[in-house]
Chain A
Amino acid sequence: MHKRTFLKVSALAAATMLSLPLMAYAQNATLKIGFVGVTSGPAAAWGISNQRSMEARAAWLNELGGVTIGDKTYNIEIVPFDDQKDPKRAIAGMEKMAQDGVHYVVGPNVDDGAAAVRPVAEQNGIMYFPYAFPKELYTPPASNAILGMVANYQSGPAIYKYLMENKGVKKVAFVAANESDPLSQRESGIAAAQALGLEVVSGNVTYQVDTTDFTPVLLPVIQASPDLLVLSGVSPANAPQLIRSARELGYTGLISTETAQDATVLAEGAGELAEGFISVGGASTPELASDAMNEFVERYTKMFGEYNDESNTKVYALEYIIETLKANPAAIDNVEEYKKTMDTFEAANPFMKGDAKLKYVGTTSFGQKRQVSVPLVVNEYKGGKFETLFVGQVD
């Protein structure tokens, strides 16, 4: 063979070899998974952590060659829609998903948005994973919504009971933003506290979400001298300021919330004043996080510059969708098949150490399995990071 011909053949072979994985990547079918949630405005952190978790995980899976469901391999494409925390926009977002042929949607992030999209989802055969707590979304006859996290009426009683038994808490006060989610969380928190025999010394103080100085808001609450101050449904943006104002007003008792928070945000906004703050976390505490979870955090950080601790919980929804579709490939465009699979579905949980399982739960709270099983991790903020206080499980 001539030297020139040899070089040509070698170059062609090399190019073919190099392009094979790319061809395989390109030849995969596409599985669209939607996200309808808030990625702008004061609560943007909630939705952005959702969207970025999905995008980071999807990119990782696509890099590995895609996801095989049945006899077909798919690349995952995330279709995002910013509902701006507006129920009307959420409906528009869900309608867009239906037009795009998307059957599985993560979100919305708040109660009114999740309630608003229900008819659209049910009429168009869409399963959706809200981060909203109204029970009617998950109890029969509703069947298309799957709660993507632990609800406050599940975590609240566990936290209050722990603090009663271990910290001698007797009097509790609640403060909430004047919005549907925090207000409903406050109501269920008060009910849970009263059921446990706690004295609710303040339960009607609220604040505007755009409040910048919480001192006047908290003054009457602190004057009621609670042992525990519960920040019902507090957003990561408001939590540091509320903690700081409470401490600066001389409050020395415990402060807790049932929403997920971010350690960096607390460190910057409240510093040492946030010491001892109790919140609900996800599965990435060093005691629980698997190697895959640590790699996810690395990849997320590489893609977006900074990790968000809320993604410890938000990483799960996409995983549940993919693994359930793998378990029943017929569900790829038929959500009734998906529903049938949920009752018996079980798969390995890649984000936790040990033999943890992905499975649907919620029978006790909703009368049917309409909740993803994520560990109920209750954290305490110490020295700039979260430490696990206790871990529970929702059934």
Chain B
Amino acid sequence: MEQIIANGLYLGAQYALIALGLTLIFSLMNVLNFAHGQMYVFGGFVTYTVVVQLGLPFIVGLFASAIVLAVMGAAIEKFLFAPVVRRSKRDESTMLLAAGVAFFLDAVILLFFGEKQRGVPKIVNGVFNWDMRIIMPYDRILIGVLAILLIVAFIAFMNYSKTGRAMRALAQDKMAAQLMGVNVARYSMIGFALGAMLAGLVGGLLVTITGVNLGMGGPTSIKAFLMIMIGGAGVISGAIAGGFILGMMESVGLTVLSAYGDITYLVIFASLMVFLAVRPQGLMGKPWG
């Protein structure tokens, strides 16, 4: 049982961090960023390139991922999403654009980084073993702790910085925020950049554990959408809750249901359908948006 909880917490921390960026972008711009998974993959490849190809320290790779993805996110928002949001009132326009960006990034990743699975050597060796009740490699513990620290830093940033407060105001009521002098275009771009940066950071963190490959983008986006559907789209606390719930469900299911074959995600999806039928806005979302 202890092992199941430890696995669930570790998975939950990384999932929550992935979902945060997605929900931030959704809350600010009402954009379902289908390219979020590809941004995560891109971040992993940037860290890989810096650490393995260039031989620089892991922390440099992590910073490089954050910066590259933030710049990429800002550019995508400014030159692609902002004009579409300005010109089209239809939600599907941004959804189609996001899908297009996802395909484009897949092609760019294949072109620049190739088709192979890539990985960064373990940053910490050794395995924590508590009397065979909890077995957890130290690098997973480190990554889990870093993920939780990043979540805390993100919450603090959103609550206590001027930029964070402006983005929260924008998420709550765009018109009111604009009337209060919030520069919508500027903070939308910053929010998108921050969301992309978070995706890149998780990619950079997890490339040391799970590695990264071209095909991980789509499934990562799907899991991120699952999390924000559980927690409530556009709600930061909901994304965190969704991440930890999905992580725990996956950990429990893979252990308890293993004897019945690969039915963990079947059970998760079935539970989610029932849950959304009862509470379509998710755990912490508001029924009106």
Contact = CB atoms under 8 A, between A and B. Distances in A.
**A joins B in a complex:** yes
Given A268-B120, A269-B119, A42 B210 contact: no
B262 A206 contact: yes
Contacts of B219: 42, 208-210
A141 interface: no
Contacts of B255: 216, 219-220
A306 B117 CA distance: 13
A262 interface: yes
Given A48-B115, A305-B114, A250 B127 contact: yes
A240 B114 contact: no
Nearest to B126: A248
A259 interface: no
A103 to B, nearest CB: 28
Interface string A59-73: 000000000000000
B159 interface: no
A151 interface: no
Nearest to B251: A216
A178 interface: yes
B10 to A, nearest CB: 7
Given A40-B106, A213-B11, A219-B255, A206 B210 contact: no
Interface string B1-18: 001100100110010000
Interface string A154-193: 0000000000000000000000001000000000000000
Given A39-B115, A212-B206, A264-B116, A269 B251 contact: no
A152 B20 CA distance: 43
Contacts of A236: 116-117
For A212, A250, A264, A270, the residue with the greatest tally of chain B CB atoms inside 10 Å of its CB is: A212
Interface string A239-273: 01100000011100000000000101100111100
Interface residues of B, number: 46
B97 to A, nearest CB: 20
A249 B255 CA distance: 14
B121 A271 contact: yes
Interface string A264-295: 11001111000000000000000000000000
A305 B115 CA distance: 12
A220 B214 CA distance: 29
A220 B258 contact: yes
Interface string B103-120: 000100010001111111
A237 B215 contact: yes
Contact of A178 (B132, B211, B223, B262): B262
B206 A268 contact: no
A270 B45 CA distance: 17
A268 B262 contact: no
Contacts of B209: 212-213
Given A43-B215, A44-B110, A240-B211, A262 B116 contact: yes
A253 B52 CA distance: 29
Contact of B115 (A45, A205, A268): A45
Interface residues of A, number: 40
A268 B121 contact: yes
A40 B215 contact: yes
A235 B216 CA distance: 13
Contacts of B127: 248, 250
B250 interface: yes
A42 B121 contact: no
B129 A250 contact: yes
A384 to B, nearest CB: 11
B259 interface: yes
B102 to A, nearest CB: 12
B46 to A, nearest CB: 15
A206 B261 CA distance: 6
Given A213-B11, A240-B211, A271-B122, A265 B116 contact: yes
A240 B214 contact: no
B119 A44 contact: no
Interface in A330-351: none
Contacts of A208: 219, 262, 265
B254 A210 contact: no
For B117, B127, B255, B258, the residue with the greatest tally of chain A CB atoms inside 10 Å of its CB is: B117
B135 interface: yes
Given A240-B117, A269-B117, A40 B258 contact: no
Interface string B209-252: 11101111011100100000000000000000000000000110
Given A40-B214, A208-B219, 14 more contacts: A40-B106, A42-B215, A42-B216, A204-B259, A207-B262, A208-B265, A215-B7, A215-B140, A217-B254, A249-B135, A250-B135, A262-B117, A268-B121, A269-B117
19 contacts: A40-B106, A41-B214, A42-B213, A43-B215, A207-B254, A210-B219, A210-B220, A212-B14, A212-B210, A217-B254, A217-B258, A219-B3, A236-B117, A237-B117, A241-B210, A248-B135, A250-B135, A265-B119, A305-B114
Query: Nearest 5 A-B pairs (CB), nearest first?
Result: A42-B215, A210-B219, A269-B119, A206-B262, A178-B262
Interface of B: 3-4, 7, 10-11, 14, 48, 52, 106, 110, 114-122, 127, 129, 132, 135, 137, 140, 206, 209-211, 213-216, 218-220, 223, 250-251, 254-255, 258-259, 261-262, 265
Interface of A: 39-45, 48, 178, 204-210, 212-213, 215-217, 219-220, 236-237, 240-241, 248-250, 262, 264-265, 268-271, 305-306, 308
